[in-house]
Every structure is written in C-alpha cells, then in structure tokens.
Structure 1
Amino acid sequence: MNAPVTNQRSWVVALLLCFFFGIIGVHRFYVGKTGTGILQIVTFGGLGLWTLIDFIVILVGGFRDKQGQPLAR
C-alpha cells in the first residue's frame, strides 16, 4: 500500500512570494512552473494583471503546483 503523496510547497510561502515578487513570477518558479515563470518575467507579470489573478487564486486555495497538487496549508 502506497502512502499518499504530500506536497512540500507551502500556501503561505507561495502567497508571500506572489505578493512581494509576483511581477517577476517567483511564486511560479517556487511551485515548479518554470515556463510560465519565465513568461511572467518577460511580460512583467502580464503588466500586473496576471500577478493579481495568481494572488487571488492562491488566496482562495485554487493554485496548484506543477504536478497538479494543491499547496499545503
């Protein structure tokens, strides 16, 4: 019997990274989404809009890591 996979990525850390460094996508690198993290650097967080949307999604608990796992609370 396999033990359930637990996520090591923290919801609080992702939220704080998005708040302080979201315009350069640091929170996306943190959860393993390197490709979209680079896109956020290039577009300055979608001129802030993408960052705002990510912040809200993280805040309500809908943000997931690269493997599709929810962030640990």
Structure 2
Amino acid sequence: MSDRNFVATVLLCFFLGSLGAHRFYVGKIGTGILMFFTLGGLGIWTLIDLIMIIVGKFTDKDGHLIKS
C-alpha cells in the first residue's frame, strides 16, 4: 500500500488531471510532464487514470497500490 492519500489522488486527477497533477503527486514525474504537454492525451489518458484510481489499480512511483 502506498503512503499517498487516495482521496487527494482522485481529486487531483478529476480537477487537474489534464495537467498531470495526480502523476506528479504520486511521484511519476516523467509521465506527469508528458500529460502536461499533451493535455492528458486530450482527456483520454486522464479518464483512464481516473478509472484506474477509483478501482484501486493505480500505483505510485514505487509500484505500491493507492487504495482507499
């Protein structure tokens, strides 16, 4: 289990996901920068990440699951 907060990750993804804020929060800096410049893959990548976070399959930079 990750030490990152589940609710904070969901909210960052929902409100600032197209800028990659949730990826910066969990330590995935490289993909956060990529999301920032592509606007979250025009929203598609952001939607996929949001779904993965909600179902508990999203991981932090160390591979630990972020769960509620």
The answer, yes or no, to whether TM exceeds 0.5 is yes
TM-score for the superposition, normalised by structure 2:
0.94
Of all paired residues, the percent bearing the same amino acid is 57
Structure 1 residue ranges (4+ consecutive) displaced by more than 4 angstroms after TM superposition: none
8 Å CA contact 2:56, 2:67 repeated in 1: no
Structure 2: runs of 5 or more not aligned: none
Structure with larger Rg: 1
Task: Report the RMSD for the aligned CA atoms in angstroms.
Answer: 1.0
Deviations along 1:19-55, one digit per CA (max 9) or x if unpaired, are 0000000000000000000000010000000000000
TM-score for the superposition, normalised by structure 1:
0.88
Aligned residue number for residue 55 of structure 1 = 50
Compare the two structures and name the one with the higher helix fraction: 2
Instruction: Give secondary structure in 2 for the equivalent of 1:35.
Output: helix
Structure 1: runs of 5 or more not aligned: 1-5
